Amino acid sequence: MKIKGLYQKREFWYFQPSAKGLKKQPPPIALRTKDFDEALQKVIELKGVDFQTSGRSISEWFEIYLDDRERGNHYAPNVRYNVSKSVPKFFDFIGSTRKPESISKSDAMDWYNELNDGTRSASSAHGYIRYARAFFTWLLDKEIITVNPFARLKLPTPADTRRNEFLEPEERDHLLEVAKNSKITFRDEMVFVLHMGFFAGMRIKEILNTKWKWLSLAGKGKIHVMNEKQEPGPGRSFTTKNKKEKRIPMNSKLRDYLKTLDRGKPEEYVLFPEKGSQSHRTRGHRWDCRGSWEKVVQEAGFPNFSPHGMRHTFGSLHAMAGTPETKIIQWMGLTRDVFDKHYAGLSDDDADMDRI
C-alpha cells in the first residue's frame, strides 16, 4: 500500500509533509522505525486521519472529523452538539453513502435552497452551511478532497440573515403574562429569564450565570454583569462575550419584579444555585431552557421567537424610543459597528420617507 509522502531510506521510514500552500518544501520527518505498520500509525497521528479509509463514505469521514475535533478540543460541548446534529442533515439530503470527492458545489447550493423553505430562520440556515463548510475545509486540509464545495457560495451575509425580529411592547407583555400563568415545571425560572432579557438586554448565557451580587436594588437599581474567575474545585469560570464587564440600570418594571424575589447569598446563582457552576453536558449552559422556552413561546403565539430575540427587542425598542445611542451601546456591550448594523436609525416615524 502506497501512502503519499511516506518513503523508506536505509530501511528506516520517513514522512515528507506536503508543500501545498507553502513557499518552500518542509523538511522530511524521521519516523525512527523500520516497521511499516508502526510508521503508518505515526503518520496517522501526524495527519489526524487513517489513510487506509480512502474509500469511506461522507458520513464515515464525519465521524473521524468529530473524533479529531474532540481530541484537539476544538469545540465547546454545546458547539460540538450543534455540529453533530446539523451537518448530518446534509448527508440525509445528498445520501450518506456518497464519497466526499463526488460532492459538488451544486449539491451544497441545492441544500442551502432546501434549508430556506420557510420552516427555519435564515440565520439558522446560514449556521448549517457554516458548520458544513468547516467540515469540508478539514477534508481539504487532509487532502481527502481537492475542492471545498461550500467555499465561495453566493450566500447572504450574516448581517442579512441575522435574527432581526423583535416584539412590540404589547407582544412582549403578552409573552410575560403567558409565562406567569403557564403550567410548565420551571415557570418561575422562565419569568426571570424573560425579565432579564427584555428589560436588561442580557444574553441568555449571562442570564443563566447571574449571581445575586450582580443585582443591586439600592437607589433606582443597577445590574453589574461580572467576569467570574475560576474557583478552586470542580466547575468553570464565566466571562462575557467580549470579555468586558458592563453595568445596566434597571427600569421600574425590572426593579419592581426583582423586589418580589427572595434574595439569596451574594455568591449564589439566582437560577439553580444548587447546580453551582457546572454546565449542561451538551449545551454548555448551567440550565438548558429550550424545552420551557419552546412551550411558552408556542402558547403565546410566537413559535419562531428565539431567546436572543429578547436582546433585539431591548435594543430595538430603546432605539425607536430615542434613547441615546451611546447609552444603548454601553448597556448592551456592543461595538459601534454592531449597533449601526442592527439598531441605528430605527424609528416608527421616519422623516426620511418624505425624501422621495
User: What pLDDT digit, counting tens, does each position of 313-345 carry?
Assistant: 999 999 888 899 999 999 999 888 888 877 876
**Cβ pair 8, 31 in contact under 8 A:** no
Instruction: Return the pLDDT at 206.
Output: 93
**Cβ pair 7, 13 in contact under 8 A:** yes
Lowest mean pLDDT among 48-57, 224-233, 239-248, 259-268: 48-57
- Residue that wins the pLDDT comparison between 23 and 99: 99
- Residue that wins the pLDDT comparison between 316 and 48: 316
**162 has a pLDDT exceeding 80:** no
DSSP label at residue 269: B
Instruction: Return the pLDDT at 292.
Output: 93
- Residue that wins the pLDDT comparison between 51 and 166: 166
Phi, psi of 226 (to 5 degrees): -110, 155
**Cβ pair 270, 210 in contact under 8 A:** yes
Q: Which residue has the cell 479529531?
A: 68
- CATH, domain range 169-342: 1.10.443.10
When pLDDT is cut at 50, 70 and 90, the band that residue 230 belongs to is: low
pTM: 0.61
CA distances from 66 to 48, 72, 134 (A): 11, 10, 11
Instruction: Return the pLDDT at 75.
Output: 74
Question: Measured between alpha carbons, how far is 146 from 135 in angstroms, rounded to an integer?
Answer: 14
Lowest mean pLDDT among 77-81, 101-105, 202-206, 259-263: 77-81
Question: Measured between alpha carbons, how far is 350 from 329 in angstroms, rounded to an integer?
Answer: 22
Question: Measured between alpha carbons, how far is 5 from 7 in angstroms, rounded to an integer?
Answer: 6
Domain 58-160: CATH architecture, name and number where available: Orthogonal Bundle (1.10)
C-alpha angle 45/49/52, rounded to 5°?
Answer: 110
At 57-110, the pLDDT tens digits run 898 899 888 888 877 777 766 678 888 999 999 999 999 889 999 999 999 989
- Residue that wins the pLDDT comparison between 186 and 237: 186
Question: Measured between alpha carbons, how far is 65 from 86 in angstroms, rounded to an integer?
Answer: 14
Instruction: Return the pLDDT at 341.
Output: 77
**7 has a pLDDT exceeding 50:** yes
Helix (H, G, I), strand (E, B) or coil at 182: coil
- Residue that wins the pLDDT comparison between 124 and 86: 86
Which strand (E) or helix (H) includes residue 67? helix 58-71
Q: Where are the domains of the chain?
A: 6-47, 58-160, 169-342
CA atoms within 13 A on the CB side of 355: 4
**How many Å is the Cα radius of gyration of the chain?**
26
* Adjacency order of strands within the sheet including 6-9: 6-9, 12-15, 29-30
Lowest mean pLDDT among 107-111, 112-116, 121-125, 239-243: 121-125
**Cβ pair 226, 244 in contact under 8 A:** no
Q: Which residue has the cell 523500520?
A: 34
Question: Measured between alpha carbons, how far is 84 from 295 in angstroms, rounded to an integer?
Answer: 25
Question: Measured between alpha carbons, how far is 34 from 176 in angstroms, rounded to an integer?
Answer: 71
